[in-house]
Amino acid sequence: MKIRNVNIQDIEKLKGIGKRTFTETFSSDNSEENITEYLDNGFSTEKLKTELIDKNAEFYFAELKGRVIGYLKVNSGQSQTEIKDKNYLEIERIYVLKEYHGKKVGQLLYEKAIKIAKSKNAEYVWLGVWEKNPRAIKFYEKNGFVPFDKHIFKLGNDKQTDIMMKLKIN
């Protein structure tokens, strides 16, 4: 398996893996209307294009035999969704196809994020994780993250609570 940087030519692959992994992760706990609205807006070509050319946002694919099986998105500086501190790096997304859960793909993407944080001399890495996603919460706790706040994430017309977690680097 390899981890590689995503570029503008990968936009359709990014859209595909983004929509599929989000649906696999959240469709059983949310209405079809809310999922569809989020996918249409969050993974539109225009939005992804803007994110891909943002110098403070980075995407990485996890590939196995040429197939994209997961991805990572990190944000620094003003591209962070909440904490816009230059000493912080946000992990906005780590998503892996369900068939590869438990096969260390998420861990490799996470380790890539930590490597990026260290290269940027970040003091902290932070993220938001849905309070009803115990698998992800456990994953981040296992990697040393601790809760420090909560925020609201809007999925369509549903206001959901994310637990904000952070990890001190070094």
- The per-residue pLDDT for 82 is 83
Average per-residue pLDDT in the chain? 94
From 38, 60, 88, 140, the catalytic residue:
140
- Nearest Cα residue to 166 out of 122, 119, 101, 109: 122
DSSP 8-class letter at 97: -
Q: Kindly report whether the global pTM for this prediction surpasses the value 0.85.
A: yes
pLDDT < 50 regions, the chain: none
CATH number at residue 94: 3.40.630.30
Structural domain of 133:
2-168
Give the pLDDT score at 35.
94
Counting every residue written for the chain, the total comes to: 170
| Whether 140 is catalytic | yes
Total structural domains within the chain = 1
